[in-house]
Structure 1
Amino acid sequence: MGLAAAATALGLTTALSGCGALGGDGGDVTLTLVAADYDLTGGDSTKKYWDGVVTAFEAENPGVKVQVRIESWNDVDREVAELVKAGKAPDLAQIGAYADYAAADQLYAADQLLSIPVQANFLAPLVDAGEYEHTQYGMPFVASTRLLFYNEELFDKAGIDAPPTTWDELAAAAEKLKKKGVAYPFALPLGPEEAQAETMMWLLSGGGGYLDGLGHYKVDSEANVRTFTWLRDNLVAKGLTGPVAPAKLDRKAAFAAFARGEVGMLNGHPSLMQEAAKKGVKVGKTALPSTDGRDRAAMGVADWIMGFKQNGHRKEIGAFLDFVFSDENVLKFAGDNDLLPATVTASEAMRSDPAHADLREFLEALPDSQLPPVGKTSWAQVSGTVKQDIGKAVAPDGRPAEVLGRIARQATAAESAE
């Protein structure tokens, strides 16, 4: 479907959803939505976005009201879990995970809510990641991918002519940066904040991943052990990862150091560009280097929106979601937050818009990306184990095979208990 045709279909869907069939015989329906706060500066941009969406939706659908509650990312998943446990589930939640609720039969499937054009418009890897037992329950609200970021000025000072495409080139560039006194030639955040994501990026670029070809955990595969052995021997042991041990370096601290101009290279996401640029850092971006320079799948990330069954508002939830996923709304939110649209038509529109030229490499990487196994109810437990333990694999006396083996055994046990 071309951009214009798909947009027309989406527009028709939105219009049809407001044709008087909503609200039921008992009068108006009020939907509740709990949503995450994306404003990095402590402002109210997320609230303003949802206020605008709700106002426009209610004008087209007079039988439905929507109440939105914004919670910080530190609290939103817990807040929704507590509401569900107390028997007070919201109608909609825009949070980080859906699988536990899908496994407990608490969610509507996507095809019970969305019109066909809207459901068909999601990018394929995001649809796959939104499935629990081959049915889509998680609808991707917004996405991002990861690229290698490098400080162009530090590269120039170190005499590095081009960004690395292989691991050997990355290590050589880090050596040059170190000789020029760069504090973090390559920042490797394997601390507990977000280590599961940093780990996945390296596993993919080494030809491995968390899962085998059948979709089961294989954390200690030969490829994965080789990857972490290389990191230990070629970056950490040679003092190329900076003054803080990777096991103690959180992503937030690494990103802050990059924005201060103290980092030569790191694996970054779109939101970091804006922060670094504000502080005068000239950011270069390229695909994550691989062992041999061949293209590997980038890691994709998505946040999810879902509809809960408890209150029985299926038609109203579906109409609201059809409206939320219009190109106009998807592009507005993604553009305001330096993130990527989760839909095909909005991605095409953003890619062709010169105002978003700095996101083009991320957009190009997203359709072929791989996401963490968020459709497994065991993933939260496995992710937590990775966060706590993976940094030990690259310590000077670390034993990658043992650390990965221990995580693998726990992952397999968690998967068996699903």
Structure 2
Amino acid sequence: MAVQRGRTGTVAAVSALGLTAALAGCGLTGDSGDVTLKLVAADYGDSSANSSQKYWDSLAKEYEAKHEGVRVDVSVYSWSDVDRKVKELVEAGDAPDMAQIGAYADYADAGQLYKADDLVSIPVQADWISQLSNAGEVKGVQYGMPFAASTRLLFYNKTLFTQAGLTPPTTWDELAQDAQALKSEGVKYPYALPLGPEEAQAETMQWLLGGGGGYTDTLGTYSIDSTENTDTFTWLRDNLVAKKLTGPVAPGKLDRADAFAAFAKGQVGMLNGHPSLMGMAEDKGVKFGMVPMPGENGQNKISMGVADWMTAFKQNGHAEQIGDFLDFVYSEKNVLAFSRKYDLLPVTESASEVMSTDKRDADLKPFLDELPLSETYPVGETSWAQVSAAVKKRIGAAVTPTGNPAAVLSQLQATATSAQNTP
């Protein structure tokens, strides 16, 4: 998130690890023999008022009241820091019992994580949405437990579209035509294309899928420099960026958070967004619509999905207590409460069924509808972290007016191949 992952992901919404997690130690409190479970979690809130720390503290208090002898100590960090903080704790030999983070494959490959079926009950495992639980696997074994999810839709400013006499696009050519019309009306960002270092991997993947490509082929091998992907970024360069339809900030310099903020100010005609953008726009009084992201020849049949992950480290040996706590975390009641609080998609079938029919969740239904059709990052590859970082750093150069998409994608492919082949 990422679901931002911003997900962007992000989803974006951001989370990080708690400072007190560095004090995890052996996980025992005093001489009582009581177990203290250390959890590092990401912050999905956008202020102290709705910080994830409050959510987790309340959840831990409720659990502890029914489980004498077990304490749950939660530390929350922003998404900018969370993965780094967990890495530091693990490298210092002080791993938390659980970490709710964006990636897990490196830890699984190093033998540091419990398998999911060593922890949670069979009913909980069976309730996870299948493509998310499958995405949590490394070499066919599940280590990453899906915790939160999001998909992407094309957001458009209804007021600006009405003024320009437009209807939402269903193809890339229609999107470019709408962007040109918006530009003629003086719209600052006809289509906001955030390929800056914050979450470029998300915007990139959505466009690759729309062009019939992606980061990997059907066998899971990186195919970043495929003909389809090269054609996609050539189209972006020639039909949006070169025609100055992406706004005053170069795509490679535009971050997702800034693009969202501009949309909430009424300065953006269209952009690729996740559920958290709804609240931002509503708070500023922006009237918006949402439709599936256009593809090259029609509405994209495959959407980008983002999941954030719960992981459990073996170091302190609390498998039984971790599993019992996670069964509680993944109860329908708690999954619904978290998803509703942060405008995220539930990762369980039971909670999804409730939200798909409950009127209070009607604004999330378009995103829920996309989830079964979504494709996630190749997070099960230990190389993905390195590849994602390279995409964030380099992909913006592919769409500059003088950029060479084939050369940039070839460089990224070389990075991916090297990372995938490194033991």
Q: Per the shorter chain, which TM-score range?
A: over 0.9
Tell whether the 8 Å contact from 1:125 to 1:368 is kept in structure 2 after alignment.
no
Structure 2 counterpart of 1:124, which letter? S
| Deviation per residue, 1:38-88 (Å, 9 max, x gap) | 111233531221122112211222131111111122221111111111111
Q: Structure 1: how far apart are the matches of 2:164 and 2:169?
A: 14
Q: 1:47 aligns with which of 38, 45, 53?
A: 53
1:29 aligns with 2:21: no
1:123 Cα deviation (Å)? Answer: 0.8
Q: 2:367 aligns with which of 341, 345, 362?
A: 362
Equivalent residue, structure 2, for 1:15: none
Q: Map of 1:83-232 to 2, 5 A cutoff?
A: 83-160=89-166, 162-232=167-237
1:58 aligns with 2:64: yes
| Deviation per residue, 1:362-395 (Å, 9 max, x gap) | 0010122100111111111111111111111111
What is the CA RMSD across the aligned residues, in angstroms? 1.3
Q: Structure 1 residues 189, 295: closer, same or farther in 2, change over 3 A?
A: closer
Q: Give unpaired runs (5+ residues) of structure 2.
A: 1-27
Q: Structure 1: how far apart are the matches of 2:330 and 2:392?
A: 33
Q: Structure 1 residues 149, 294: closer, same or farther in 2, change over 3 A?
A: closer
1:73 aligns with 2:82: no
Structure 1 counterpart of 2:37, which letter? L
1:390 alignment partner, SS class: helix
Equivalent residue, structure 1, for 2:256: 251
1:274 aligns with 2:274: no
Q: Structure 1: how far apart are the matches of 2:50 and 2:394?
A: 36
Structure 1 counterpart of 2:73, which letter? Q
Equivalent residue, structure 2, for 1:3: none
1:374 aligns with 2:383: no
Tell whether the 8 Å contact from 1:126 to 1:342 is kept in structure 2 after alignment.
yes
1:193 Cα deviation (Å)? Answer: 1.1
TM-score, length-scaled by structure 1: 0.92
Q: Structure 2: how far apart are the matches of 1:77 and 1:359?
A: 28
Q: How many residues align?
A: 394
Calculate percent identity across the aligned residue pairs: 62
Tell whether the 8 Å contact from 1:207 to 1:296 is kept in structure 2 after alignment.
no
2:99 alignment partner, SS class: strand
Tell whether the 8 Å contact from 2:148 to 2:347 is kept in structure 1 after alignment.
yes
Q: Structure 2: how far apart are the matches of 1:279 and 1:359?
A: 19
TM-score, length-scaled by structure 2: 0.91
2:311 alignment partner, SS class: strand
1:294 Cα deviation (Å)? Answer: 4.7
Q: 2:244 aligns with which of 234, 239, 262?
A: 239
Equivalent residue, structure 1, for 2:409: 404
Q: Structure 1: how far apart are the matches of 2:33 and 2:196?
A: 52
| Deviation per residue, 1:317-337 (Å, 9 max, x gap) | 000000000011111111000
**Structure 1 residue ranges, 4+ long, deviating more than 6 angstroms after superposition:** none
Structure 1 counterpart of 2:129, which letter? L
Q: Structure 1: how far apart are the matches of 2:363 and 2:102?
A: 25
Equivalent residue, structure 2, for 1:346: 351
Q: Structure 1: how far apart are the matches of 2:405 and 2:377?
A: 21
